[in-house]
Structure 1
Amino acid sequence: MLSSIKDKLLNVTKTVPLFSTNSDRGHVQCEVNSNAGSEILSHYQAEWQALHNQSEQNAKKAEEAATEIAKITNKIERDKKSLSVMTHLLAHSNLNLNLVNCTKQIEKLYDSFREVEEELVQLEDLIETVEFENMKKQHRYHLQQYKVRKEESLKAFEASLKEKHEKAVAEFDLKKKKELEERQQVFHEAFKSDLEIYKNSGTIPKLDLPKKQPSALLEEIQVDFDESELDQFLSK
């Protein structure tokens, strides 16, 4: 800044001869520059304006800093009061005893929770046992129902076999009766023939009788009974 002032002064001295001799006064005409010093004035005005703006900014920042300091001070005061209250409570109250009691209560609650958890495990085991017994009862019930159905089916099958047997016996008796009638007819005719032969020759010829066929018995009938349905039910 001093160098700029020096330059301005040199410029002014070159323009206006302030230090001239008496011999030169008559020969040199004095010329006055009306704008001399305006640049210096403008420069200082600009500097002053910058300083003024900087001062305003500093004032605003100072206010903000003062506000923050006040907030911090209030917070410190509140913390100090809280610390004083806590110190007073710790020194003159039963806080430690209450903390010990709370710790004991928490331990009791923990023991209670553990007992409840063990009881829940036992309850789950009991529920599984009951469900297993119910499942066994259901299987027994289904097995009993299956036996009843099979007994009914067996009775129906026996009745059907009995009916077929009676029908077969009736047919066999009818067939046997017819055979007997045919045999009687044959014997009657043979008797007549033998009688004629005896009358003519005086001898009786030997008669070849057919062999008797054994009759079918109910105990000898083989019944095919499929047990796959029972095995499939028992394997479930």
Structure 2
Amino acid sequence: MFGSLRKKLNNVIQEGFIITENLQQQYRQSQTSSASSNATTPTLDESIHSNRSSSSFGGQLSGSDLILPGDVNMAAGCNLLAKYEDAWKLMHDANENNALKAAQVAKQIERIGQSTNVLHTDMTDLATCLAGIPALVAKLHESLETLQNVNKLSATVETELDRLEDLCEECELQEFMLNKQCELSQFQQKKMVELESYRQSVAAKHQEKIRQHEQNLRRIQRERQAVFDDAFRGDLAEFKSKGALTKIQKEEPSLPVALEEVVLEDTTTKDALEDFLNG
């Protein structure tokens, strides 16, 4: 932008120089005819213009004295140049200020753009989340129903577990009772075997005692028979010799005792049997 302004200023200055040269040529042509009537002292602007033109154009008019009319301002180009220079300086300062402000505005725009992008991202995420809220609500309702079903199943499972525990306790009790019954049966069998063994031993002892008692009875009977035989033979011999028997006092005969009526009283054996049965 500054380069274009400089080009425009240079073009304006060149056009001013061309106009000034054309005017000088016109006045040179007419200086011979109007030298006496129009001879006046130059004004301040004309002197300044002459000084500037002499310095600017490298002494092009140094060899001639120009007399310009009063209505021509030869310093207009310089004034215009100064005006454009001041305007250019103001524009340059304004452009620099605008550049600084533009940089600040660009930074602010960049920050705003970044924050806008962040907000756009957040809004997009928020919109996505909001769009997913109905599905989330539906899932929550399904989850609540599932939790209710799980609670019902938990209550059912807890009830069944209580029943299972009761059944386990009953099974353990039955198993304990069966074990005790088995132990009792084994104990009874053991005691029955011991009782049978003891009964056999007692029966054997009883049979032995009966056999000994029968032997004693037979021995006593034989002794009595022998005594009776001796007495009979003595009575027979006395009857043969005397013809009569001596009267003797008769004793009442004792009733015969059967073997089944024999009772053996053995307190030691009886006490041992009672201890075995009670133990």
- Give the structure-2-normalised TM-score: 0.45
- Once the two structures are superposed, residues 165-217 of structure 1 have per-residue CA deviations (whole angstroms, 9 ceiling, x without a partner) of 22112211211121112112211222233234433361253453763573564
* Counterpart Cα distance in 1 of 2:123 and 2:257: 122
C-alpha displacement at 1:126, in angstroms? 1.1
Structure 1 unaligned blocks of 5 or more: 1-77, 230-236
Gaps of 5+ in 2: 1-117
Q: 1:84-99 maps to which residues of 2 (within 5 A)?
A: 85=125, 89-90=129-130, 92-93=132-133, 94-99=135-140
Return the structure number with greater relative CO, CA threshold 8 A, min gap 6: 2
The letter of the residue matching 1:202 is: A
1:200 maps to 242
Identity of aligned residues (%): 21
Aligned residue pairs total 153
Determine the structure 2 residue equivalent to 1:141: 182
Structure 2 distance, partners of 1:186, 1:219, is: 25
Separation (CA, whole Å) in 2 of partners of 1:114 and 1:82:
45
Change (3 A) 1:183 1:219: closer
Do structure 1's residue 164 and structure 2's residue 164 form an aligned pair? no
- State the AA in 2 paired with 1:208: E
Cα distance in structure 2, aligned partners of 1:134 and 1:100 = 49
The 8 Å contact of residues 90 and 96 in structure 1, kept in 2 or not, is answered as no
CA–CA distance in 1 between the matches of 2:203 and 2:140?
92
- SS of the residue 2:274 aligns to: coil
Within 1, Cα distance between the matches of 2:173 and 2:242? 96
Which residue type is aligned with residue 200 of structure 1?
K
Superposition map of 1:172-191 within 5 A:
172-191=213-232
Q: Which residue of 2 aligns with 1:150?
A: 191
Residue 112 of structure 1, aligned match among 153, 162, 186: 153
Alignment of structure 1 residues 31-42 onto 2, 5 Å: none
Residues 196 and 92 (structure 1), Cα distance of their counterparts in 2 relative to 1, 3 Å cut = closer
